[in-house]
Amino acid sequence: MNTTLYILAMIPLCAMLNRLRGTYSWCAHLYGVCLAFALALHTLNPWMLLAYPLFLLGECFGWGTLIGTMLNKSADRFARETSRMTLSVRGAWWWAGVCVLIAFNGASLPLMAASIYALSISFPMSVELASEINVKDKWALAEWMYGAVQGLVIGILSV
């Protein structure tokens, strides 16, 4: 498959699946399965199917309070900063296993580290950016944006 086409396909796929995952908890399994199959088919490596359990290990629920704090413009600065830092750590935890798996398939260690960092900081950044855009559902917008970043970063890392 053409590398550029693969990356461009991963962006909307991950954006849509991340939004579904945020709305329906069972869609975390759908996202993990789709991600694992996309990686396995693109790399022609069946070991990439391990992305499914690694994705589920990193993805977890219960972070809504922090996202809500960041979306709340009246929240105090300390609470917003704490939420931002915590969501960054959560973003790294979420994707570290998948990124390490892809690195075992041949991605360079610096690119793997940069990918984990990008996925770490883009989680709170997507929430922060969504809070500044005049839309009705800022939370949904943040999930769409972070999902698009996930697709871009994982797409680049896996080529």
Its domain, for residue 34, covers: 3-157
pLDDT, tens only, 72-127 = 988 999 999 999 999 999 999 999 999 999 999 999 999 999 999 999 999 999 99
Q: How many domains does the chain contain in total?
A: 1
Helix axes 77-104, 51-58, angle to 10 degrees: 170
Residue 1 pLDDT greater than 70, yes or no: no
Rounded to the nearest integer, the mean pLDDT of the chain is 94
Tell me the pLDDT band of 150, cut-offs 50, 70 and 90.
very high
Helix axes 64-71, 77-104, angle to 10 degrees: 130
Tell me the pLDDT band of 64, cut-offs 50, 70 and 90.
confident
